[in-house]
Amino acid sequence: MAGFSSSSFSSDRVVPEGGYRTKAGDWAPSKPVEYAPILKFPLNIKNIFKWMFAYPGYLWPFNVIYFGIVLLTWNYFQPPVEKFVTLEIGVISKILMRNFALLWIWYGGWHLYLYTWRMRGQRRKYCARWQSTKGSTFLLKNQVYDNIFWCCASGCVAWTFYEVLYFWSMANGYTPMITFKDNPIWFISQLLLIPIWREFHFYWIHRFLHWKPLYKISHYLHHHNINPGPWSGLAMHPIESMGYFSVVLIHFLVPSHPLLFLFNSQHTALTPAPSHTGFEGSLKGGLPFGSYFHYLHHRYFDCNYGESGLPFDKWFGSFMDGQKDIDAARYPKTYLTYEVIRIEQESERVKSFYLKREDRGEIAPHQSGQHLLFRVPVSKGKVLRCYSISDSFNHESLRVSIKKEFPPIGSPDLPPGEVSSYFHDEIKVGDTVEAKGPRGDFVLSNDMAPVFLAAGGVGITPIIAMAKDLVLEGSREVTMFVLMKNSREFPFQDELLKMKNESSNLRVFVGFDEPLEEDCLGKSHDFEGYFSREWLEEVSYEKTSKAGNLEHYICGPKGMMESSIKILKTFGVEDHKIHMEVFSTSVKHENEENSDVMEGGQVEFIHSEKTIKWTPEDGTLLELAESNDIEMEAGCLFGECGSCKVNLKEGEVVYDHPVAATVEKGTCLPCSCRPKGSIVIEA
Ligand code: FES
């Protein structure tokens, strides 16, 4: 059976920051994201009043600050309206320069405080990682430079375009106008309504930008920022910028005042900075910032299109409150059908399968190191297998890499692994497979300490995804050991070489224990034999370890894992610095049976109201359930995570192997056991 178990000594923990951190170090507020009370029915006037006048609330601090900026610019930095009659270059430049200055002060200020000086460290930072300095999707491979470029070249230009257009139109008498003196009530009503109008417009224009053709040519650019920072706010394609700022066109239709127009345009230009900070908190306890609501949209893509004032997302079913949904989004609970869009032979026995959702829906976000749970139809019915995702996340497709299992050494007469053979020999481009996930706790922590990665054999699949993410992030030093038999059985060679050559934070060392004649020490590999203390000494591991407090991530066969950990401990590495995932490649479960349970029995699934006859061919209880369309929760498939645990109401089970999860009396782990006679379980 190809399966694996994961173990990490870190755990989710409540933190004294009004929220919690995941194992990967991402922070989320403990309270669900909520809507403003204005459209909460039945209306509660007291709550609406509180929301209007509280601090922070509707008026305070941002709307008051933005209106203050409007008064300042109108009184000191606004060219006289007559100058706009003929649209001279000088007057346009003045508006452009004014907007550039505002942009740099406002956006640059947030960035300096939170990212350059890191005044808050990682406190309440939604995503544990800092912004990418090696991301190929960003200009100059640097997320901040890329964001600044698009803010200035696209966002600021569109903003200026609409302002110049408005004042030209006003100067030429084309704009319907009011004055405060003549219409004070209408003036104040507009002032109060503009932020709500902005939110209304934002929701609809944003939904429109998610229309596939428009997304592909424009909005994709803003969504490169899965982990946004202040400059991501206005980092938009020119088409998107024009749509986003079109909110001010209302002033060409509804009688208004230039102060109201400026309030609308500057509000639109400045709001994205604090809402994209990627942090939640308040500046010196005063000025609040952060929008977990909108962060969830960047992270999960098809939720929270609006803002947290008007409940459109709730009404149209796309609202995510950031609590239980966060896990549901990470770990979809039902099987999805994926189409195989590409197959690559990575080495003699490893093939990569590129998967796209058959319904062309979005790929659920995953963290490097996680896996998918596949439900595979083989001769005895449907069986389950976990396969690691071997690439960093992208919205379009997933890559899993699978090693073809041969019969166990010493038993050449046993058939090869049926599931891996199914993938290797039967699956073609265009075929579909069923999978659930992503899931798994073997993920990078938020610790910004340097990282040590070690991969043995096909254990390289989660490790290469981690290496890719770390290279994209670019801020942690990475030492990576790849332990293979020889060059013939070494997957991802070219990919690793490319990563190594193109990144300054990754060192890769390759060890072969059965080198081929054509393998050349010093060229195809750096070490020969088995991973040892001497190898680590040769690459100055101790210096890195002591200096940098390395976090270790190891994946491979059990023997390799055990000896690696033993060696690391001789350097004094503590348990909590080692995160590991053991790959089990034994084909025992596919081809051998346990003599205790050969006779079979009835399995009654209470909740599903089904009673099914179990025979040895049915495999584990979990496999029996899946083959009969009874969906059960599962994670590691190896008795480690405990996620499949159910109550065993009657009867006994027999385990295929020792399990690490605690099994209380009256429960069982269906992923790892079979019934001994007839049993009754709560599933
Ligand atoms: S799936 Fe992890 S213990 Fe059963």
Q: Residue 533: what pLDDT?
A: 94
At residue 141, φ and ψ (nearest 5 deg) are 60, 20
> Helices (H), strands (E): how many in the chain?
22, 23
pLDDT interval class at 18 (50, 70, 90):
low
Do 58 and 37 touch, CB atoms closer than 8 A?
Answer: no
- Both tokens of residue 86? 């003929």
Higher pLDDT, residue 650 or 50: 650
| Ligand 1 atom showing the smallest separation from residue 5 Cα | 2
Long-range interactions of 106-111: CB distance < 8 A, separation 24+:
106/270, 106/273, 107/151, 107/230, 107/231, 107/233, 107/234, 107/273, 110/230, 110/273, 110/274, 110/277, 110/289, 111/144, 111/229, 111/230, 111/231
Over pLDDT 70: what percentage of the chain?
Answer: 89
Q: Quick one: which atom of ligand 1 is closest to the CA of 640?
A: 3
Greater model confidence, 314 or 599: 314
Please state the rounded mean pLDDT for residues 278-299.
86
- Poorest-pLDDT segment among 138-147, 634-643, 644-653: 634-643
Q: How far is the CA of 639 from the centre of ligand 1 (A)?
A: 4
How far is the C-alpha of 568 from the C-alpha of 604, rounded, in Å? 47
Summarize the confidence of residues 307-330 as an average pLDDT: 75
56 DSSP assignment: S
pLDDT at position 17: 56
Tell me how far apart the alpha carbons of residues 155 and 126 are, in angstroms, rounded to a whole number. Answer: 25
Answer with the residue of higher pLDDT: 134 or 241.
241
* Residue 13 in this model has a pLDDT that exceeds 80: no
Atom of ligand 1 nearest to the CA of 659: 3
Q: Would the pLDDT of 457 be above 90?
A: yes
Cα(210) to centroid(ligand 1), Å: 38
Residue to probe by mutation, ligand 1, list 672, 673, 674, 681, most atoms within 8 Å of CB: 672
Residue 669 CA: nearest ligand 1 atom is: 4
Whether residue 3 is predicted with pLDDT greater than 70 in this model: the reply is no
- Of the segments 36-40, 460-464, 628-632, which one has the largest average pLDDT value? 460-464
Quote the longest CA-to-CA distance of the chain: 96
Q: Are 235 and 151 in contact (CB under 8 A)?
A: yes
User: Mind listing the domains of the chain with CATH numbers?
Assistant: 70-289 (no CATH), 330-439 (2.40.30.10), 451-584 (3.40.50.80), 594-681 (3.10.20.30)
Cβ(572)–Cβ(649) below 8 Å: no
Please give the distance, rounded to the nearest whole angstrom, from the Cα atom of residue 140 to the centre of ligand 1. Answer: 43
pLDDT at 644: 86
Residue 548 has what pLDDT?
53
Pocket test for ligand 1, best of 4, 623, 631, 644 (most atoms within 8 A of CB): 644
Strands 336-345 and 350-357: antiparallel
What integer pLDDT is reported at residue 558 of this predicted model? Answer: 86
The pLDDT value recorded for residue 477 is: 87
Q: What is the pLDDT of residue 186?
A: 95
Both tokens of 22, joined, read 């995941």
Residue of 385, 669, 673, 674 with the most ligand 1 atoms within 8 Å of its CB, for mutation? 669
What is the sign, positive or negative, of the torsion defined by CA atoms of 438, 443, 448, 454? negative
Nearest-5° angle of CA 223, CA 229, CA 233? 60
Q: Are 466 and 368 in contact (CB under 8 A)?
A: yes
Strand partners, 483: 456, 511
| The predicted structure's pLDDT at residue 281 | 84
What's the gap in Å between 436 CA and the centre of ligand 1?
14
What local confidence, expressed as pLDDT, does residue 679 receive? 93
| Model confidence at 566: pLDDT above 90 | yes
**Ligand 1 first shell, C-beta below 6 A:** 634-637, 639-644, 661, 669, 671
Are the C-beta atoms of 214 and 223 separated by less than 8 Å? no
The reported pLDDT for the residue numbered 591 is 36
* Per-residue pLDDT at 447: 62
Res 654 pLDDT > 50: yes
**Higher-pLDDT residue of 547, 250:** 250
pLDDT of residue 19: 67
Instruction: Tell which one of 372, 636, 648, 653 to mutate to probe ligand 1, the residue whose CB is within 8 A of the most ligand atoms.
Output: 636
Q: pLDDT at position 576, please?
A: 83
Decide which of 365 and 131 is more confident.
131
Among 414, 331, 396, 272, CA closest to 635: 331
Q: Is the dihedral angle over the CA atoms 499, 501, 504, 505 positive or is it negative?
A: positive
CA of 622 to the centre of ligand 1 (A): 9
pLDDT category at 635 given cuts 50, 70, 90 is confident
Instruction: Answer with the residue of higher pLDDT: 357 or 21.
Output: 357
Position in ligand 1 atom list of the atom nearest CA 633: 1
Mean pLDDT lowest for which of 38-52, 218-232, 297-311?
38-52
Across 68-82, 224-238, 589-603, least confident range = 589-603
Residue 1 has pLDDT above 70, yes or no: no
538-547: long-range pairs with CB below 8 Å, 24+: 539/479, 539/507, 539/509, 541/452, 541/479, 541/571, 542/571, 544/450, 544/452, 544/477, 544/479, 545/452, 545/571, 545/573
Ligand 1 centroid to residue 47 C-alpha, Å: 46
The confidence score (pLDDT) of residue 677 equals: 87
Q: How far is CA 542 from the centre of its chain?
A: 33
DSSP 385-435: EEEEB-S---SS-EEEEEEPPPPPTT-TTSPPPHHHHIIIII--TT-EEEE
Separation of CA 644 and ligand 1 centre (Å): 5
For a pLDDT cut of 90, what percent of the chain falls above it?
Answer: 52
Question: 159 pLDDT exceeds 90?
Answer: yes
- Dump pLDDT digits (tens) for 324-352: 544 544 445 678 899 999 999 999 999 99
Average pLDDT over residues 407-433: 81
CA of 558 to the centre of ligand 1 (A): 18
Residues 126, 278: contact at Cβ < 8 Å?
yes
> Residue 352 in contact with residue 464, Cβ under 8 Å?
no
633 Cα to the center of ligand 1, angstroms: 8
Residue 106 has pLDDT above 70, yes or no: yes
Q: What is the pLDDT of residue 545?
A: 60
Mean pLDDT score of the chain, rounded to an integer?
86
**Residue-level pLDDT at 414:** 60
The 10s digit of each residue's pLDDT in 61-76 is 999 999 999 999 999 9
Query: What is residue 590's predicted lDDT score, i.e. its pLDDT?
Result: 38
Place of tokens 């996620």: 643
Tell me what pLDDT residue 593 has: 42
Tally of CB atoms within 10 A around 403 = 26
For 114-137, what is the mean pLDDT?
Answer: 84
Q: Reduced to 3 states, what is the DSSP secondary structure of residue 42?
A: coil
- Alpha carbons within 13 angstroms on the beta-carbon side of residue 354 total 14
Range in 50-59, 316-325, 492-501 with the lowest mean pLDDT = 316-325
